[in-house]
Structure formats: structure tokens, C-alpha cells
A and B are shown apart, each in its own frame.
Chain A
């Protein structure tokens, strides 16, 4: 295979001052087969706008990931002061000023819907920029490749090292590389557990080996997956494991920005000799720099491909070459398929970012965002749920009256204990009994004490004369009211008696 790559036949220079690299796309149609082991990709370091952007995104996203658990947020006594905390033992999620209780986990669904919609919108506008810049797989792979480059050198040095026989220097380099990789992986797995427990305490416990076993277990699992996926599997995760590239085709159309080669300008391609005219030939000097820098190991000049993660490093590489040979930039660029077609037909390019699908995604994002914000703002610090006994549906008492049993759950989200008055309305002649309530009043009211930040359940019995359930079923309302009169909650329920024929 290596001989076929043609080191000997191609000239060493693609153009004046431009090195021609022996790089071949891993998915080139000529060497595609049904059964094929991995072609190792040796990404070359690119220089340019997009490479700088990728470094910046890496810095920001890794900082967010590693530092977030250490942000403090004062919530008052007996409550955690970690800004972002997924407190499973306490059954609470904390995000800065927001507290999520178990019964509010639907916010998570809302967030996921919102995130997908934003991803849809971004993808329909600018293609796979998520894949190219922000996806954790991309970020960590980029980091691991940077470490590899730091230890073993850039592309050519790495290829040479891999082809050389094992010796002390090679062993040392490889060991150092894997050691740094494992350290990064451990730091990644290690940071993850801080989201689930108080970070400073857990950090100390981890070091003194006092942390719970699950903490070590999860550090182990996440370290192993980070190392395997980010350092070893790399682009194979995107190509073979990730479903997202397969879905995105449905989200993009001819007006979405994609990383694309301009064949109308580049073809016919070929090496360029000094002082040769550019007329009658394309601007692509076939230097393969775009292939050499590609982390997915593909050739963008083959057109749109599933493997392309839209990271634009090929644009950086090509623009560098174009500058050297004195041609305009953007032989490879972010462009739309419609734009490329228009250029090929020498028509004016029109970019249409306002399209039905982008408008629909934007509107949905706004709607879902507003619904979530509304739900968050209007949520009560008091919650009442009532479950009617199913067995028995009703009990006929010896004096002929009817009794129904209910389980009543009062959730007091206040950080102080509260006492609530329970009232029953809409059932004439009914009386109310509560097991375990502090006082048992018979006049359809009772007092319920609920500790701070707690859910307490009560057994409640409602007794009513048969005349109150004329058709076997009556509607009535439970209301609880805070002793300060601050908050109330109601529950409309049914009262059942024997059915009338």
C-alpha cells in the first residue's frame, strides 16, 4: 500500500516553496474495501484562523469542564454551597440559583429538547460546526493529538518514528506520550465526580483514600473511556460509532454552510512549476496539505463526505499554500452547495440563511425557552398531590355514610418548617380525618405540619352522607393554606360512593 502512495513518482514540490505531502485519504474510493483494518491518521499541525479558533474553543470548554465544580454559591445553612451540584443522596440538583427537585426532572427533558433544537438550527445554518469545534470527542482528541505532537514531533516525525524499529528512544517517547495521555484521562474522569459531591471535600478524600468506592469506580470508568475514545479510537468514533453524522444529512440542505473545495477554481489540479502561467490550469497544486492536516484523514477535494467533521483545518492549510503561491485564499472554504454551484455557473452567489427550516427551529427554540422560563418562574414552593385509594373504592359505614381514603402528599420546598390548614370544599356534610395530623378536627379542616425541605404524606379519610354522592361520584376540592396565608395549593379530586342503577 505504501508503495502505491507514490513517493517516488510525484515531485517533492507541488509549487514553488510548497512541500508536496504523501498523504492519501483513508476513505478514498480507490482503496475502499469491505474488510479493512484502520489506516492510521497522522494529522499535521495547521496554522491559521480556524486552528486558533479551535485552540480557543478547547481552552474555554475545558476550563468550563474542569473549573465549574469549584465555583461556590452561598445558599444558607445546611445546604450545599457548590454552584453546580448533582446531589443524588439529597435528591436535589443545584444550578446556581435554580434548585431542581426530583419531581421537576422534566426541566432536564426541556433542556435536552432545547439543546437539540439549537443543534438543529446551528447545523442547518453552518453544518457540522458542533462536530468540528465543540464536541467533547473533538476537543479531547485534539488535546491528545497535541500531546502526541509535543512528544513525538509533527506528522513526518511521527510516521518515521512508527516505522522505525523499537529502541530505547522510541520506547521512552511512546511511554511518555501514554503517560501524559493517562494523566489527562484521569484528570477528565476525576473532574467528573466533583459534579456529584462537594468538590473540595471530595478532592481531599480522594487523596487520602477516604472517598467512597463509587467515586474511584467512576473515575476509573471515565478515565478508561476518555483514554480509549480520545487517545486511541479518535476519528473512528466519529466515523463508525457516532449517529450524529448520519442524522445531519437530514438537517442540512444546499443553503447550509459546509467546508467545501471549489472544483471550478481548483481543477484541473497538478504541481506548478516556478514562472509557469496559471492560465489553463486549476489553482490546486495537489500538495495534499489539506489531507495531511485532516484529523479524520479524508480528502475534502473528493466532495462532501460523512467522515468530514467540518473543523476547517483544511481551509487553514490550503490558505497557507495559496498565500505562498500568490493566489487568492479560500480555494477550500465554508460555502453552501448552492454557492458552489452558482460560482461554477459564474452567477452571483446568494446566501439564504432565512429559510423555512431555520425559521421553524428558531421559533421552536424561542417557544420552548419561554415555556421553560415560565415554568421556572411560576413554580411554587408548595406542592400538593393526592392519590385516592383504589382498594377499597369506598367504604359503607354502619350508619350508612360513605368513607373514601386518600394519601395526601405535601411538599414543602421552603427552607423552614410550615404548618398548613387543610380544607375540604364541595362535599356537603362531609367530615375530614387525618391520621397523624397534630389535631383532628371534625369540621372538614385539619392542620398539617411539614418540616423544612421535606415531603410528608398523610392518610386522610373523608366521610360523607350518601346524599352527597347522588350518582355514585362527586367532585370536591382539597385546599391547603400556609399559616401565614402566603401560599396555597389546591387539588380537585373525586369522592366515590355506591353507583346508582
Chain B
């Protein structure tokens, strides 16, 4: 491959001397503007190193002469957003809960703020849209263990369930088999009776008497439940841990004790109340 340039006969332009299988490369200059753009880019890059944070070091990076920081900008924007939301958030924090639902402006704000707080803090257990899962109550139906009014929802959110809050919701269902309160046969009878409360079948055995002695004090004589005590209603078709016989037997034998964090100290008042309105509006509180 010769490397000596020569003039191309056809075009009259110098060649670079490079040749591949008889094809020779012409030495056309780069367009002038292109060269300038290239030079300016180099100058720009050097200036950028000096002005902006650029070079990584062992413990950090060069900070640049104008002190640009994306973290600071984000923090500033979050502050700005908080300030901008301040007045309406203050109104949401101060207004009675049912009034928030009646005021279109407050309601729009609360539903939006509640939805975003829900998707950050609640969906992990209660599912997207509050759909729930086994062991995690659905928030879209009308079965409420601790009550589904605005005030009851707000209280549950604040204090949590079996959480480290002085007034936390706490209930204790005995583990009838482990605690040796009932025998396996008795538990089976009670379970059949409990199932009959929900689906209207005729129970066998002496489940009714055992229920009256052991369960009615919390769950009610007809299984109507008690939101004061957090005792679920047993006479409806909604089950937190499953309504088949095996699940009910398991629940009675070993008890259940779900937990929910207390949010009073984790979320600010406006967010907490927005969340209350949002959860109430999911359909469950109606």
C-alpha cells in the first residue's frame, strides 16, 4: 500500500496515497465549518470541566466553579413544591374530614395527594387500588375490621395495628389449639358453625354452643363482628384469611395477628388526612 500522495487524474484532487484493490482515497479537506465545530467542541469541553462538577476522585469529585448540584436543585424543587402546596395543604389539615369531601377543590387535592401517598406507603400490602390480598385487608369492599368511617380510617392510619404507638389498635384472639383451649374435634365443629354463619348452611355437631362460649364475646352472637375490638364480622362473605374449612380451622387453632405500622409520626397531617379521604373514596368507606 503506497503512502505517497499523487494527483488523481479524473478529479484533479490529491489522493491520500491509500489504495484498496485499485480504489484510491481522495484527500478532500473537511468542510471548514466542521473543523470549527470540532475546535469549538474541544474548547467547550475544557470549559465544562472547569465550570461543572466533572472529575471523579477517590473521595468525591471536582465541584466546579459555579457550584452546580443536581441534588441541591432537586431539594430546592421539593421545597418549592411544598411551599406551593402549603396553603391548600394547610386547609386540608385543618378542615373537618367530611367537609374535605364536600369541597371540590379540597377533594381534588386530597384524592391526588392521597393516591400518591398510597402508592408509596400502602400498595406493598394492600395492593394497587387497595385490592388487598390474603392476610391484607382489601380497602375497596365494605368489610372493615376497625371501622370504615372517615374518623375510624384516620385513627387506624395514625395508630396502626400492633404497632409501636401508645394507643395502637391491638386485639388478641386466642390460639385455641396451641393454647389447649379446645380439642381438634371441637375446633372442627366451631369452624363448621362459623362457616354456616356466612353461607347459611346447617351446622353439624355442637359448634353453636362452643361458639357461644368462646367466640361470641368478641365476634358477636350472630357473628356480626365488632369494630371497637377489631373483631371481624363472620356472617358476611368476605374473609381475610380464606373462608374454606381448612383456613377457618387454621385461624381458630393458631390465631392470626396482622400488623400495620402507625403513620402518625411518619406522615404529616395533610398527607395523613388526604390518605384518609383517598382510602374512604376507594369505595370501602361508603
Contact = CB atoms under 8 A, between A and B. Distances in A.
Contacts of B69: none
A397 B142 contact: yes
Interface in A376-408: 389, 391-392, 395-400, 403, 405
Contact of B140 (A392, A400, A449): A392
Contacts of B143: 398
Nearest to B131: A392
Interface residues of B, number: 26
B107 interface: yes
Contact of A396 (B28, B129, B141): B141
B172 interface: no
Given A398-B238, A435-B107, A436-B104, A33 B281 contact: no
Contact of B283 (A403, A436, A438): A403
A456 B283 CA distance: 19
A395 B107 CA distance: 23
Contacts of A449: 104
A447 B195 CA distance: 42
Nearest to B281: A435
B247 interface: no
Main secondary structure of the interface of B (DSSP, over half): loop
B61 interface: no
A141 interface: no
Given A33-B11, A398-B237, A436 B101 contact: yes
A433 interface: yes
B199 to A, nearest CB: 10
Interface string B38-50: 0000000000000
Contacts of A397: 141-142, 238
Main secondary structure of the interface of A (DSSP, over half): loop
Nearest to A404: B283
Contacts of B127: 391
A35 interface: yes
Nearest to A397: B142
Contacts of B107: 435-436
A436 B127 CA distance: 24
B190 interface: no
Interface in B48-78: none
B111 interface: yes
B102 A396 contact: no
Interface of B: 11, 13, 26, 28, 101-102, 104, 107, 111, 127-129, 131, 138, 140-143, 233, 236-238, 281-283, 286
Given A34-B11, A395-B141, A398-B143, 20 more contacts: A35-B13, A389-B129, A391-B128, A392-B131, A396-B141, A396-B237, A397-B238, A398-B141, A398-B238, A400-B237, A403-B141, A403-B283, A436-B101, A436-B102, A436-B104, A456-B104, A459-B111, A459-B281, A461-B283, A461-B286
19 contacts: A33-B11, A34-B11, A35-B11, A391-B128, A392-B131, A392-B138, A396-B238, A397-B238, A398-B141, A398-B233, A399-B236, A403-B283, A435-B107, A435-B111, A436-B101, A436-B104, A436-B107, A438-B102, A459-B111
